[in-house]
Amino acid sequence: MQEVYNQLEKEIHLKVGDTVVLGVSSGPDSMALLYFMLMIRKSIPISLVVAHVNHNVRRESAKEAKFLEEYCAKYDVTFEKMKIEQYSDDNFHNEARNIRYHFFENLVHKYHASYLMTAHHADDLIETVLMRITRGSTLKGYSGFQKIVDFDDYQIVRPFITLTKEEIMAFLKKHRVPYMIDKSNFKDKYTRNRYRRYVLPFLKKEDKEVHRKFYQFSETLLEYNQFLDAQVDKVYHKTYQDRTLFLSSFLELHPLIQEKILFRILEEIYPDDLMVIHRKHIELMMSLMTSKKKNSYIYLPDNIKVVKEYDTVKIKDQVLSIDSYEMELGNYVLLPNKHHIEKVTSCDTNGNDICRLSSDEVELPLYVRTRKHGDKIALFGKSGHKKVKDIFIDCKIPLEMRELWPVVIDSRGEIIWIPGIKKSKFMKKKSDKYDIIYKYN
């Protein structure tokens, strides 16, 4: 912990009278952070505000909030809590994170705090980097997260970023710091848990200092990202203004600068939902811009329409009239034809409105789009392929409905399912082994 103290002293210069908001869950990591800051408070008179979010998904949540409130009262620490009453986003973890950080930011402003601290540590960084590499991300995304993030009037600080979980647990044991255990952290259904339980032990066995290598990797990527950002700053507003991208100047730029500009545009479009941004969207936008067609368009999530008109590309919000789309298939997708596709855990029926798949046989993530010229599907229980156009004709689908009818593909472009109409060779019977179920309503 001396290393953490030295870094704090060197990098953020805590001073008498500063207020620090701490994101604390009651788990071991955040309780270690709280106790560590209590130790610092003995030498530097600062004010501490504990911010606790009850995610309202486990029965133990109320007990954890009470435990933490009593602990804060014992040590004269201001305690603030909130409870998330309901969720609306398809991505629970993403929505919970957004709500959590909005709550933290409100407290920072309420108490005029200089710092917001969270207990993210070295193991968290390794997990995040590996998950981003596996999923695909940006240069900055591949770096995981930063130790210090500057905002206009405060900083987010992650003082434990160089500490391993083992070091944190040793600190808790030495000082007899109480904490609560979230049992969901041991369930393999969560992606991060699988990395934590199976990948990290292997890496640490290979090199006990591997966390320092990942930290250096992260720092190096951030330095390169900062350099690229500086180059983008020079041309961004000359290339993109008022939701309009000027192709003549954009296409003259280096491909890396082009990509950074597009990611920055997407970050502006989806400021509270960055998890929706995927490299696939960048590829779609680049294909549109380099197409020989003078007038064309694509759709991004949430009905955002990207329109190419000769030498410009314009971003349009919440399009009411849609005749083409492509979007990633998550837990729930509302379709322009007023139907939706929903991921379910079980289903007794076996019609064409149900899609059972094995993730071992398809390339994730899946996407849902409108049909394209020449589309073919390898039908379930049949040999060879059949044109989607002919299937629509055979099934007597009205012409006006065909343009919006969803077609589900995997990341290789293989047609997996025509919801409500036909299944592909990738479909599984109820008696087969599968781990994905979608329902079309």
Q: How confident is the model at residue 112 (pLDDT cuts 50, 70, 90)?
A: very high
The rounded percent of the chain whose pLDDT value lies above 90 is 66
pLDDT one-digit tens code per residue, 75-86: 999 999 998 877
Q: In what order do the strands lie in the sheet with 326-328?
A: 326-328, 367-369, 407-409, 415-418, 422-423
pLDDT one-digit tens code per residue, 284-294: 899 899 988 88
pLDDT score of 276? 65
- In this prediction, residues 199-216 reach a mean pLDDT of 96
- In this prediction, residues 422-437 reach a mean pLDDT of 95
Sign (positive or negative) of CA dihedral 380, 382, 386, 389 = negative
Secondary structure element (H or E) that encloses residue 42, with its range: helix 28-43
Residues near 54 by Cβ (< 8 Å), separated by ≥ 6?
61, 62, 64, 65, 81, 82, 83, 84
- In this prediction, residues 177-190 reach a mean pLDDT of 87
pLDDT score of 97? 81
CA distance 144 to 221: 9
Q: How confident is the model at residue 305 (pLDDT cuts 50, 70, 90)?
A: confident
For the cut 80, the answer to whether the pLDDT of residue 11 exceeds it is yes
CA distance 108 to 376: 55
For the cut 90, the answer to whether the pLDDT of residue 165 exceeds it is yes
For the cut 60, the answer to whether the pLDDT of residue 274 exceeds it is no
Cα dist from 394 to 116, 134, 374, 416, 436, whole Å: 61, 41, 16, 19, 28
3-state DSSP: the chain helix, strand, coil percent, rounded to 5?
Answer: 40, 20, 40
Cα dist from 275 to 283, 286, 351, whole Å: 16, 20, 32
